[in-house]
A and B are shown apart, each in its own frame.
Chain A
Amino acid sequence: MTVVCLVELDGAEPADASLRALTLARALGDTSVQTVVFAESASVPAAALADYGVSDVYAVEPGALEGYAPQAWARVLARLAAETGATAVLAAGTDRGNEVLAHLGAITGLPMAANCTIVTPDGGQTHRLVRHRWAGLLLEDAVMEAPIALFTVATDAVAPVPAQTPAAVAVHVHKPELAEGDLRVRAAESPAGAGGASLATARVVVGGGRGVGGPDGFAPLEELAGLLGGVVGVSRVVTSEGWRPHRQQVGQTGTKITPELYLACGISGAIQHIAGCAGARHIIAINTDPGAPILAHADYAVIGDLHQVIPALVAALRAR
């Protein structure tokens, strides 16, 4: 049995989300995990992929396909799936992963299941799966009947686990055949306006909600985030009030975060927000209301006004 997995790179390393997808790929059974990487073959992180049980890497080099073109990427996966006789094609449930697999679904006419947490072959063309709905607030048990199962893996649900025995990995340079239409939509990339750590990948996120009180209340949170080597995230009400830009929003309609620590300050814990921060390893809430829903999701809580707690915490951290 062969499965094909799209691997995205984060710098020179496989993206964390892709490692999670590979972890799930291995769990599909006694499989050969083939991966597609869009990079120079020389810079493929072969060892890291071998740790995750990858047997073959198909490197699509910039010379053959420059930059991100979702439909073209999907075309590559479609051809490779056919060539390798894959029973499943998967990717991480990132913006790109979901986009490419949706294109693949459209190209092949096959169904695609986004943001799965469990996928189990069930004989023939059947896969049983569990996937996120409502950004993970609900789980759907579903059955997929398809010659090739197409799915993405929820970025915040499956922990990345290396294989017990690393595979011997072979790197192939893959030269795709692409139609002109496949390249019609292609990303022109430039560094984004705001620098600094990305919310999605930050190790510490300091969250601010309605309790911050207004656009002027975020300075202490920024200061705290700086001290903790993290970034500031906000709830939906903060962006819809226009206090902070939308790109800082943590939530179902914002960014889903997976930090070591999420420090939620003055955030009540509406379900739309929980959908974005449920992937945090630890949550500490600072809230005046001991009955706030966020406390049901937090490991620790400080009951109190963030306007008193945060400055005191900043002072304590500076004093260390």
Chain B
Amino acid sequence: MEILVCVKRVPTVGGKIAVTPDGQEVDTRMSGFSISPHEECAVEEAVQITERAGGSVTVLTLGPEAAIEQLRDALALGAGRAVLLETDGREWGPIATAAAIAAEVRAHPYDLVLLGNEAADTGDYQVGIRLAHELGWPVATGIKNLSVSAGGVVARREYRGVEEAYSLPLPAVITVKEGINLPRYPSLPGRLRAKRAAIERSAPDWAAEGLRKETLRVPASSKHQATVLGHGADAVPELVRVLDELGVLS
């Protein structure tokens, strides 16, 4: 099974997120970067599938040169080949992103393309679906359980208390969500292999899209510092009173 996993480089943020003064980007002066969480699981899923069924995993990212770091992260986890679709730092919309990925997919005999359900930063929810339409492949999204057989895949997710199962023939596009697996940590030999691995690079052309970002901002917080009801178990009577006031005690 030949699998392509698409990952995105996103800042790792703590308990607070800040925006650059020009309102164009997240302030990452003190941030590290990582693979967007759902996609970490996509990498793990792809590696597990090939460990069971054979084949190989290619990891792809569209991003700045620095995103090689995330490609190497994926290589360290077991991907065998890495492709950088290099950008000049401009933010790419989902339509152009899907088109650029589609070009890579068409050039190689992939059976399966895995993506995250949505990127942590932009939250567009559409690259996987647009990619599938570009390719004319079936797609299932938000997948939390995947079983692969020769003929196809069965992808499962839960929605409003109901389990949905999708049977897709291959080749197919699947977007996964965190929880589908518990991603492994990179081993030392894995890291070293990743360090040595070659990165294939190309630079697709950016294209404008109909949805255009103007500024980013931190929402005004309506909350203030919490009212402290008390300390330890002594606070319980006060806590019960508040619960009652909020109407959650039937």
Contacts and interface: CB of A to CB of B under 8 A. Distances in A.
Establish whether A and B are touching in the complex (CB under 8 Å): yes
B249 A304 contact: no
B30 interface: no
A197 B30 CA distance: 40
B135 to A, nearest CB: 11
A113 interface: yes
A12 interface: no
A192 B162 contact: yes
Contact of A312 (B120, B141, B233, B246): B233
A162 interface: no
A186 interface: yes
A28 B210 CA distance: 19
B29 interface: no
Contacts of B160: 10, 198, 200-201
A230 B250 CA distance: 11
Interface string B5-35: 0000000011111010000001000000000
* Interface of A (DSSP majority class): mixed
A224 to B, nearest CB: 10
Contact of A254 (B134, B178, B227, B250): B178
B142 to A, nearest CB: 5
B246 A304 contact: no
Nearest to A8: B160
Contacts of B247: 260
A198 B250 contact: no
Interface stretch (B63-71, B77-85, B124-132): B124-132
A191 to B, nearest CB: 6
A140 B121 CA distance: 11
B38 interface: yes
Interface string A121-145: 0000000000011111111111111
Tier of interface size on chain B: 35 or more
A184 B124 CA distance: 24
A302 interface: yes
B168 to A, nearest CB: 6
A107 B136 CA distance: 11
Contacts of A320: 240, 249
Interface of A: 10, 68, 70, 95-96, 98-99, 102-103, 105-107, 109-115, 132-146, 152, 181, 184-193, 195, 198, 200-201, 203-204, 228-230, 239-240, 242, 245-247, 249, 252-254, 260-261, 268-272, 274, 282-285, 290, 293, 295-305, 308-309, 311-313, 316-317, 320
18 contacts: A98-B118, A99-B142, A102-B130, A137-B219, A139-B216, A144-B212, A152-B125, A187-B165, A191-B163, A247-B179, A254-B179, A272-B13, A283-B226, A284-B239, A296-B225, A300-B229, A302-B230, A303-B231
Closest 6 CB pairs of A and B: A246-B179, A304-B232, A102-B126, A106-B133, A187-B164, A293-B15
Interface of B: 13-17, 19, 26, 37-38, 93-95, 98, 118, 120-126, 129-130, 132-134, 136, 138-142, 144, 157-169, 177-179, 182, 209-219, 221, 223, 225-233, 235-237, 239-240, 242-243, 246-250
